[in-house]
Amino acid sequence: MTLTDIAAPSVFETVESEVRSYCRAWPVVFERAAGSRLYDEDGRPYLDFFAGAGSLNYGHNNPVLKRALLDYLADDGITHGLDMSTTAKRAFLETFRATVLEPRALPYKVMFPGPTGTNAVEAALKLARKVTGRQTVVSFTNAFHGMSLGSLAVTGNAAKRAGAGVPLHHAARMPFDDYLDGQVTDFLWFERLLDDSGSGLDHPAAVIVETVQGEGGINVARAEWLRGLAELCRRHDMLLIADDIQMGCGRTGDFFSFEEAGITPDIVTLSKSISGYGLPMSLCLFRPELDLWEPGEHNGTFRGNNPAFVTATAALDAYWRDGALRERTLNRAARVERALLDLCGDDAATGVAVRGRGLVWGLEFADGERAEAVCRRAFETGLLLETSGPRGEVVKLLPPLTATDDELDEGLGVLARSVRHTAGRRAA
Amino acid sequence: MTLTDIAAPSVFETVESEVRSYCRAWPVVFERAAGSRLYDEDGRPYLDFFAGAGSLNYGHNNPVLKRALLDYLADDGITHGLDMSTTAKRAFLETFRATVLEPRALPYKVMFPGPTGTNAVEAALKLARKVTGRQTVVSFTNAFHGMSLGSLAVTGNAAKRAGAGVPLHHAARMPFDDYLDGQVTDFLWFERLLDDSGSGLDHPAAVIVETVQGEGGINVARAEWLRGLAELCRRHDMLLIADDIQMGCGRTGDFFSFEEAGITPDIVTLSKSISGYGLPMSLCLFRPELDLWEPGEHNGTFRGNNPAFVTATAALDAYWRDGALRERTLNRAARVERALLDLCGDDAATGVAVRGRGLVWGLEFADGERAEAVCRRAFETGLLLETSGPRGEVVKLLPPLTATDDELDEGLGVLARSVRHTAGRRAA
Amino acid sequence: MTLTDIAAPSVFETVESEVRSYCRAWPVVFERAAGSRLYDEDGRPYLDFFAGAGSLNYGHNNPVLKRALLDYLADDGITHGLDMSTTAKRAFLETFRATVLEPRALPYKVMFPGPTGTNAVEAALKLARKVTGRQTVVSFTNAFHGMSLGSLAVTGNAAKRAGAGVPLHHAARMPFDDYLDGQVTDFLWFERLLDDSGSGLDHPAAVIVETVQGEGGINVARAEWLRGLAELCRRHDMLLIADDIQMGCGRTGDFFSFEEAGITPDIVTLSKSISGYGLPMSLCLFRPELDLWEPGEHNGTFRGNNPAFVTATAALDAYWRDGALRERTLNRAARVERALLDLCGDDAATGVAVRGRGLVWGLEFADGERAEAVCRRAFETGLLLETSGPRGEVVKLLPPLTATDDELDEGLGVLARSVRHTAGRRAA
Amino acid sequence: MTLTDIAAPSVFETVESEVRSYCRAWPVVFERAAGSRLYDEDGRPYLDFFAGAGSLNYGHNNPVLKRALLDYLADDGITHGLDMSTTAKRAFLETFRATVLEPRALPYKVMFPGPTGTNAVEAALKLARKVTGRQTVVSFTNAFHGMSLGSLAVTGNAAKRAGAGVPLHHAARMPFDDYLDGQVTDFLWFERLLDDSGSGLDHPAAVIVETVQGEGGINVARAEWLRGLAELCRRHDMLLIADDIQMGCGRTGDFFSFEEAGITPDIVTLSKSISGYGLPMSLCLFRPELDLWEPGEHNGTFRGNNPAFVTATAALDAYWRDGALRERTLNRAARVERALLDLCGDDAATGVAVRGRGLVWGLEFADGERAEAVCRRAFETGLLLETSGPRGEVVKLLPPLTATDDELDEGLGVLARSVRHTAGRRAA
């Protein structure tokens, strides 16, 4: 930074709101991106192990998707479509049915609830309440479901919740898998509350769950726990909502992260990587018998983001016609796990816990300062990493699924050096 | 529709949720669009007097914006940027400051609250509550502010509200301009409640207002009423939030619809036409002293929709460096008004009321059936029009600001014929 | 106060909470009471124009009621009865039916909701919500319905509301009679909201109203306005709840204060003077078709305050077998009105407005300081008076209905001197 | 019941609301009571092991209290006193200080929040929220705190909660002592939620607890658990509210039921037996530094039930100047426990669990039908008993503390016969 810079703060500092966040951790101006790398305006490359918080599973500006998008735009395809029928939407629906729904025998209806994850969660909550006539939705400790008022009520983070400025209601909290001491029977508390008419828990409309809590600190639910939850929902007549916004679209290997557990949620939310190109898009899927919406009962201006439909269709075509991506991701999962365990050894010694599945992994440090120091050091060495968890104590790895083996090794190498570099130091 | 069609319902009917709405009024599949026209897959053109519910003020696939967008994408510009600093965002901020803020001496900070209007409203409400430490927000009869839980609470429509499935709180309703009998002094009730500590109105954090209620039925607030409201807010220490999502970006002539009244709201929401190309984007603007956000206190995956920043920048450059578009819109306003008054004569005779400002106009019929019939007839004749108002009784005109005089005349002609065609008939 | 007193603050100051209120205005220790007078421990008499905030319509320790009570207690009658059947309750129900319900052809069922007014209001609100399946209850500006959370939500006073410590919901506020400028048509705003599905008013379960707002400042609704309200409720399928806790039991002449208007509310709450002896008791009355309670769905330990049933029965027997008390009260109303108008002349000159009905009257001063000064002066001269209204600006007169003509004249005389004494002075 | 009775349903059936409850279990009309016995109008005696749901710890019409009350009323003492200072209130405050507060070194301020338990709980919740500026109050599974909206929100029973007709908020539920499987560490879940800023539990203002849950099924918290809770509150800056409405005034031996655990709650609610004579009265006690009430911020018409102050004072004088009653109660506890264990043997065999402390005991049967049959049989044999627990599965014993040894033995004998009589039968 030169004297001139000091004299003239950037437009980000003078005009953009103080609410901005990631740009503080990565104080450069990005200009270009391709595959697994971003480039700042000075041309410096950054290996991206953040992938738009899971929105870029197929990498930046994936050439297959890019081609489809440029063609569509060049031909004056519809860009803004509200919920009109368009050829782009039809192609998406047909491809989604052919590549995602039919192969998995999922009967879901597809709703376009608005282009962001929180739109999808709001729609899912509305529908669950409408269908059941009940109001309480159960969510889990350290859940993250979005920042609009309905989604925030089922989110755990205290600082985000405080931002609401009003009390958040109609939600009840349960312990996520392995939240307590490792001794307590799964769902002991939850089922006791449901069985006991004096418990004070109003019968819930639904349970909303992430199979892996990304923002919450890469907390991985066991398949067995997810099956127990699905069974509990069935037994107690509660709808099960899987929020697969961050973990869907192949992040854990399967297209849906809940496939491994062999469960079929009643409602599923998808967003982030569904468009495949970083364009805003989200879906709310549900069993057809739940489709009790009145026309227009939930609406929104940008539900029909047709350019996103185009890239989404191209991504499904390119990656989900067969099982290759899934297999590759699962292979890489093993490779990453090995590397991280090599790095951290057993926690007892290093105090670092390793958790993950597919291509989402976390290293839990003793405190947020250390995790932040690791990310800062990684950034200085050209690797983008972010923290998560309630105290920011978890370094989160979300590389593009399309990263090459070399890129993966490169990133894991930088990470290892950053961990070692920061050992025994306090964050500056 | 042929027998084959009957035998094979479309993917929209079999896979897409029943919540879909506009596509029911316009039962064709759109493929392409340019300027003021959409084309269905059979190549049939439709003159668009709906403009993406106000999202396409510069027309479909505006060539200036298209060029900028194609170049950006071709060059592998950042698409997905969360809230990282990018060259595209910097260009947008600088251009927005130069073309919008500085010429109007507006000191606003700019927040990217997520890419949709309801994200911006949620952020505005959060900030107003955080800054004041109060919770109640006053909104107006027939207001529409969005479909997520926070925005829905300040929205009037009963059917939309019922969709929430939970009670909606922290909002108080006041009569919009000219809501009562035309005799009652402006703000009589509102101010009485504020002045009286026994009134039961908890001191509001803020008032949220649309200068012209689009979804509510093209209800146009007088400049004098808006000034009265701003003055009331000042006197009673309430923040004034102008929701300019549909009426901003030149729809009424000026860039902001409240400029005519000479007021400066404390918080402004913008969306719909801000990207100019139909791409999801929204802004929340506020006085710098209100910028008390903690970093990351409100976040969201698609805040940094960089392709939208690119088209937004191009649109500001092309249309807001001078006053030409504003002037043209105001001229057209007069032309449209004349045509509509010619059509409807005095209400007493035709029972049709004409209301509007800039290039947003409404024809209020006695009931929703007639208004729907007019729109159906217009559609059959190649013109897209929608209804609004609590009973769908208002035919709404939102032509692109860039429509040619011929297009305007053509549309008004179809409208006139549709009105006459449906006179004396009941909707089928 | 002597030096000793100063050295030893009373147990009220050292042990009782700061929340105590009336004892601050009347800093003596009361010991005994009979008829219209209280006596402090030094034997000094105070003429009581407050009557336990309307709980002592038949005076203090009314000898007829006292006899019945002493006999009952001496004979070991049941004191505490939950909701068991007792001879005392049977006598009350039979007498209430014979003296109150049957003569007025009122078909009400009788519920014992707990012994205080706020218990009755809570029960009324619960029942209205249960029966209609709706949640919003409309109440009026300056309404006072009680201090528990449900009742407080329909109460207007800002300081009381703030005491809740949580936001108060499920209530909508409408202007009480003559709240606005005297020009606005009755129920213009209310009916407009009900008629308009875009108004944002969720269809109310019920409307709760006081015919004369006591705590709110002795605001008297016209019979015509009450009839309009009843008609509005009927037309829009809302239950009408008359809160007759302070104004019932003959305070306005008739047993129920709404009789004058010729209306029959769906639900009525009674308390304060129903036991007649100042003992805690309340009733919730409702049309039989609304009696959808499950056994025990609302309960409470002190619903069956049998000593109160005994005095209540004695009071009904003594005062409501014929129309004598009613007639006497109406005659006195005229006498009091005349005296107050003589005192205050026309408001224009004195700045004091006179309002009232039956034996509840108010003098509205320009500010609370003056009204407080009047009450203080009256106290010094041996008359108990209290203020009401949002700013404490109204001196409230609630003499026992059994006060003699001499007592009435005496009190009015002290009041007149107190008003004159404080003219032109600031409260100390 | 005669043919005449059948032809003429009683006034209770025709006029009183369907909400009535206890009178259905005990279908006689009570007339008189003394000591441990009630008498119906035919003179038939009933031994009372219900004691007004804990309101008659000193028996019915206790002669010492009766004398004081008759004298007070005969002398025209103040009956209704709002919150004026009276000699009766002074005597109560001085006696309460001398017999209750000072001997236990409790510094509490005393508030008269209205005459019922739910008034006291509403006041306690308001104060906790006001003092902390927070809103959530933690309560426990199967808690019962009252039926007004604030108290109901912290109550567990589903049927009672449903009666609200609106969602109940600002409460979070935790497991009461021994609620789970007997293996889980005390407060494991609670403390985890408090320690984790991502848990979704907004920092509570307070915790409200009953040491023995009466309505919830005679669930007895261990002293150790209560100490753990007090310590947790201290460590996490939450106020501890002990709701001692049913278990206070000596029911468990000590005056306050929490004394055994050696803890000092921040706020205590008392009601039921505080007046000692079944007259409505309640208290809210709190540490002096919490006494931040504004004068009149919480009020109510019947706060100053002076006849209740008189009997309360007499009861404290008679029973709490020394430790005799306490000792006697603890001795009887042992006697009752022995008898019940003799009756039920080990649960494994009889399927009946015995729980209790002091003179509150419960027999938990497998279902509500059996418990109801036991109570019905007992009633037929002249003993009043009630059920509690979420399914009505617990027979509850609450004899007067003043019952003689013979009465105690008599009641236990009837109970034993009723249990045996109903063994192996289904409820009719």
Q: Are strands C109-111 and C283-286 parallel, antiparallel or unpaired?
A: antiparallel
Contact C18 D295 (CB under 8 A): yes
Contact residues, chain C, for A166 at CB < 8 Å: 167
Q: Mean per-residue pLDDT for D234-258?
A: 98
For residues D278 and D377, membership in a common domain is answered with no
For residues B179 and B307, membership in a common domain is answered with yes
Interface membership of D166 toward B (CB under 8 Å):
yes
Percent of chain B with pLDDT over 70: 96
CB D307 within 8 A of CB D278: no
For residues D407 and D352, membership in a common domain is answered with yes
Q: Mean per-residue pLDDT for B232-249?
A: 98
Residue C66 lies in a domain: no
Contact residues, chain A, for B83 at CB < 8 Å: 19-23
CA dist., res. B194 & res. D136, Å (int):
29
**Best mutation site among B72, B112, B147, B277 for testing chain A: the one with the most A CBs within 10 Å?**
B147
Q: What is the DSSP letter of C252?
A: T
Interface membership of A139 toward D (CB under 8 Å):
yes
Residues in contact with D13: Cβ distance below 8 Å, sequence separation at least 6, in sequence order? none
Contact residues, chain A, for B62 at CB < 8 Å: none
**Res. A323 pLDDT band, cuts 50 70 90:** very high
CB B49 within 8 A of CB B411: yes
Residue A67 lies in a domain: no
For residues D285 and D148, membership in a common domain is answered with yes
Contact residues, chain A, for D135 at CB < 8 Å: 167
Quote the pLDDT of residue D349.
67
- Helix D306-319 × helix D63-74 angle, to 10°: 140
DSSP string, B263-330: ---SEEEE-GGGSSSS----EEEE-GGG--PPTTSS--TTTTBHHHHHHHHHHHHHHSSSSHHHHHHH
Interface membership of B18 toward C (CB under 8 Å):
no
Which chains have at least 3 CB atom pairs separated by less than 8 Å from chain B?
A, C, D
Quote the pLDDT of residue C348.
61
Instruction: Name which of B175, B183, B391 is nearest C189 (Cβ-Cβ).
Output: B175
Quote the pLDDT of residue D344.
87
Among the candidates C298, C318, C338, a domain finishes at C318
CA dist., res. D228 & res. D182, Å (int):
16
**Best mutation site among B139, B151, B199 for testing chain C: the one with the most C CBs within 10 Å?**
B199
Quote the pLDDT of residue D234.
98
CA distances from D364 to A410, C321, D395 (A): 66, 51, 6
Contact residues, chain B, for C183 at CB < 8 Å: 183-184
Residue C269 lies in a domain: yes
For residues C100 and C238, membership in a common domain is answered with yes
Other Cβ atoms within 10 Å of C225 Cβ, number: 18
Interface membership of C251 toward D (CB under 8 Å):
no
In chain C, whose CA is at the least distance from the CA of A168?
Answer: C167
Quote the pLDDT of residue A4.
46
Interface membership of B169 toward D (CB under 8 Å):
no
Q: Is the dihedral of CA D96, D100, D103, D109 positive or negative?
A: negative
- Helix A306-319 × helix A87-96 angle, to 10°: 30
Contact residues, chain A, for D160 at CB < 8 Å: none
Q: Which of C138, C145, C242 is nearest to C193 (CA)?
A: C138
Instruction: Name which of D157, D169, D183 is nearest A169 (Cβ-Cβ).
Output: D169
CATH of the domain at C55: 3.90.1150.10
Contact residues, chain A, for B297 at CB < 8 Å: 19, 159-160, 162-163
Which residues is C360 bridged to in the sheet? Answer: C357
CB A196 within 8 A of CB A129: no
pLDDT at B307 > cutoff 50: yes
In chain A, whose CA is at the least distance from the CA of C169?
Answer: A167
**Res. B427 pLDDT band, cuts 50 70 90:** very low
**Res. A344 pLDDT band, cuts 50 70 90:** confident
pLDDT at B378 > cutoff 60: yes
Quote the pLDDT of residue A297.
95
Contact C141 B202 (CB under 8 A): no
**Res. D3 pLDDT band, cuts 50 70 90:** very low
Least reliable range by pLDDT among A386-390, B189-193, C345-349, D142-146: C345-349
pLDDT in tens, B268-305: 999 999 999 999 999 999 999 999 999 999 999 999 99
CA dist., res. D410 & res. D416, Å (int):
10
Quote the pLDDT of residue B1.
40
Residue C416 lies in a domain: yes
pLDDT in tens, A26-56: 999 999 999 999 999 999 999 999 999 999 9
- Quote ipTM for the complex: 0.96
Contact A165 B109 (CB under 8 A): no
**Res. D7 pLDDT band, cuts 50 70 90:** low
Quote the pLDDT of residue B344.
87
pLDDT at D1 > cutoff 80: no
CB A285 within 8 A of CB A270: yes
Quote the pLDDT of residue A427.
41
Quote the pLDDT of residue B8.
75
Quote the pLDDT of residue D147.
96
For residues B38 and B175, membership in a common domain is answered with no
Q: Encode burial over C70-83: b for 16+ CB neighbours within 10 A, e otherwise.
A: eebbeebbbbbbbb
Quote the pLDDT of residue D351.
83
Helices (H), C35-77: 51-54, 63-74
Quote the pLDDT of residue D301.
95
Helices (H), D165-215: 188-195
User: What is the pLDDT of chain A when averaged over all its residues?
Assistant: 95
**Res. A350 pLDDT band, cuts 50 70 90:** confident
For residues B327 and B409, membership in a common domain is answered with yes
CA distances from C29 to A219, B114, B310, C12, D90 (A): 66, 65, 79, 10, 9
Among the candidates D277, D297, D318, a domain finishes at D318
The token pair that represents C165 in the structure block: 């410590």
pLDDT at D285 > cutoff 90: yes
**Best mutation site among D178, D197, D202 for testing chain A: the one with the most A CBs within 10 Å?**
D197
- Phi and psi dihedrals of D289, rounded to 5? -70, -10
For residues C198 and C285, membership in a common domain is answered with yes
Quick check: pTM over 0.95?
Answer: yes
Ramachandran area for residue B358 (φ above 0: left; ψ -120 to 50: alpha; else beta) = left
Interface membership of C146 toward B (CB under 8 Å):
no
Quote the pLDDT of residue C7.
56
Q: What is the DSSP letter of B221?
A: P
CA distances from D210 to D154, D270, D285 (A): 12, 11, 15
Interface membership of A167 toward C (CB under 8 Å):
yes
**Res. A347 pLDDT band, cuts 50 70 90:** low
In chain A, whose CA is at the least distance from the CA of C168?
Answer: A167
Residue A386 lies in a domain: yes
Where do we find the tokens 């105001």? Answer: B330
Q: What is the pLDDT along chain C (428 residues), one digit of tens a residue?
A: 444 455 578 999 999 999 999 999 999 999 999 999 999 999 999 999 999 999 999 999 999 999 999 999 999 999 999 999 999 999 999 999 999 999 999 999 999 999 999 999 999 999 999 999 999 999 999 999 999 999 999 999 999 999 999 999 999 999 999 999 999 999 999 999 999 999 999 999 999 999 999 999 999 999 999 999 999 999 999 999 999 999 999 999 999 999 999 999 999 999 999 999 999 999 999 999 999 999 999 999 999 999 999 999 999 999 999 999 999 999 999 999 999 999 987 666 678 999 999 999 999 999 999 999 999 999 999 999 999 999 999 999 999 999 999 999 999 999 999 999 998 754 44
CA distances from D88 to B320, C41, C73, D68, D77 (A): 80, 11, 19, 11, 8
Which chains have at least 3 CB atom pairs separated by less than 8 Å from chain C?
A, B, D
Contact A166 C167 (CB under 8 A): yes
Residue C409 in 3-state DSSP? helix
The token pair that represents D216 in the structure block: 């919830």
For residues D57 and D175, membership in a common domain is answered with no
Interface membership of C152 toward B (CB under 8 Å):
no
CA dist., res. C272 & res. A157, Å (int):
48
Interface membership of D135 toward A (CB under 8 Å):
yes
CB-side neighbour CA atoms (13 Å) of C428: 6
In chain A, whose CA is at the least distance from the CA of B56?
Answer: A80
Provide the residue range defining the domain that includes D241: 76-318
Contact residues, chain B, for C154 at CB < 8 Å: 200
In chain B, whose CA is at the least distance from the CA of C166?
Answer: B135
Which residues is C110 bridged to in the sheet? Answer: C285, D16
Interface membership of A168 toward D (CB under 8 Å):
yes
Query: What is the total count of domains within chain A?
Result: 2
CATH of the domain at C88: 3.40.640.10
User: What is the pLDDT of chain B when averaged over all its residues?
Assistant: 95
CA dist., res. A382 & res. A376, Å (int):
10
**Res. B213 pLDDT band, cuts 50 70 90:** very high
For residues B339 and B380, membership in a common domain is answered with yes
Instruction: Name which of D75, D130, D302 is nearest C116 (Cβ-Cβ).
Output: D302
Among the candidates B318, B340, B370, a domain finishes at B318
Residue D106 lies in a domain: yes
For residues B307 and B165, membership in a common domain is answered with yes
pLDDT in tens, D173-220: 999 999 999 999 999 999 999 999 999 999 999 999 999 999 999 999
Give Rg (Cα) of chain B.
22
CA dist., res. D253 & res. D259, Å (int):
9
How many Cβ pairs closer than 8 A exist between chain B and C? Answer: 120
CA dist., res. D374 & res. D380, Å (int):
10
Quote the pLDDT of residue B271.
98
Q: Which of B354, B358, B360, B361 is nearest to B330 (CA)?
A: B358
End-to-end CA distance of chain B: 18
Residue D3 lies in a domain: no
Q: Mean per-residue pLDDT for A88-108?
A: 98
pLDDT in tens, D362-383: 999 999 999 999 999 999 999 9
In chain C, whose CA is at the least distance from the CA of D135?
Answer: C166
Contact B189 C189 (CB under 8 A): yes
pLDDT in tens, B109-168: 999 999 999 999 999 999 999 999 999 999 999 999 999 999 999 999 999 999 999 999
Contact D166 B167 (CB under 8 A): yes
CB B374 within 8 A of CB B422: yes
- Phi and psi dihedrals of B145, rounded to 5? -130, -5
Quote the pLDDT of residue A6.
52
CA dist., res. B49 & res. B38, Å (int):
10
Contact B295 A27 (CB under 8 A): no
pLDDT at B352 > cutoff 70: yes
Instruction: Name which of A75, A94, A295 is nearest B24 (Cβ-Cβ).
Output: A295
Interface membership of C167 toward A (CB under 8 Å):
yes
Least reliable range by pLDDT among A342-351, B209-218, C143-152: A342-351
Q: Is the dihedral of CA D98, D100, D103, D104 positive or negative?
A: negative
**Res. D262 pLDDT band, cuts 50 70 90:** very high
Helices and strands (H and E) in chain B: how many: 16, 17
For residues D279 and D350, membership in a common domain is answered with no
Amino acid present at D280: P
CA dist., res. C318 & res. D427, Å (int):
48
CB D270 within 8 A of CB D245: yes
Residues in contact with C22: Cβ distance below 8 Å, sequence separation at least 6, in sequence order? C386, D82, D83, D84
How many Cβ pairs closer than 8 A exist between chain B and D? Answer: 3
Contact residues, chain C, for B217 at CB < 8 Å: 198
Q: Encode burial over A8-47: b for 16+ CB neighbours within 10 A, e otherwise.
A: eebbbeebbbbbbbbbebbebbbbbbebbbbbbeeeeebb
Residue D38 lies in a domain: yes
CA dist., res. B56 & res. A301, Å (int):
11
